[in-house]
Amino acid sequence: MRCRLATLFVDIAGSTRLVVRHPPETMLGVVQCFAGLVTDIALRHRGRVKDFEGDGVLLYFESALDAAEAALAIHAALESEAPALAGRFRLLDPAFEVPGADGVTIAVYALEEGARILT
């Protein structure tokens, strides 16, 4: 049986800079918190986790609308949580600032039938 899916990949952009500046234990904690937050929001928007790839999460949704709503919710949550995560893990690297500041931007893509939505 075939079905149409919308795919959403959420990634910590600029994570390589963080990896080289922080111990592995710190980065593991950051990635686990990030993946947990993304997963929780995706599930609330009728999404399913397909895979964890490095510091990214690949999600499937039954509709592009669900994927887009999840992408916006993830972006908003990460924007508000980034300073707390940076403080919790003592990340003094400007690469972990919220979007709009110097450093990392959160790359969120919703894909369906070759179309790409960037938030």
Amino acid 90: pLDDT: 67
Q: Indicate whether 25 belongs to any domain.
A: yes
Instruction: Please count the structural domains in the chain.
Output: 1
Task: Return phi, psi of residue 45, to 5°.
Answer: -105, 30
Amino acid 19: pLDDT: 81
Q: Which domain holds residue 14?
A: 6-118
Write down the mean pLDDT value for the chain.
75
- Which ranges of the chain does DSSP label H, i.e. alpha helix? 15-21, 24-44, 64-88
Q: Indicate whether 29 belongs to any domain.
A: yes
Predicted confidence (pLDDT) per residue in 47-70, tens digit: 999 999 988 899 999 998 999 899
| Strand 6-12 with 47-53, pairing | unpaired
Q: Indicate whether 34 belongs to any domain.
A: yes
Q: Indicate whether 1 belongs to any domain.
A: no
Q: Indicate whether 105 belongs to any domain.
A: yes
Contacts 24+ apart (CB under 8 A), 33-41: 33/85, 33/88, 34/78, 34/85, 37/74, 37/77, 37/78, 37/81, 38/10, 38/74, 41/70, 41/73, 41/74, 41/77
Of 77 and 17, the one with more pLDDT: 77
CATH number of residue 73's parent domain: 3.30.70.1230
Using the predicted structure, report yes or no on whether residue 40 has a pLDDT greater than 50: yes
Q: Judge contact between 9 and 29, C-beta under 8 A.
A: no
Closest CA to 31 of 115, 113, 96, 110: 96
Instruction: Kindly report the pTM of this predicted structure.
Output: 0.72
Q: Indicate whether 56 belongs to any domain.
A: yes
Provide the pLDDT confidence category of residue 26 given band limits of 50, 70 and 90: confident
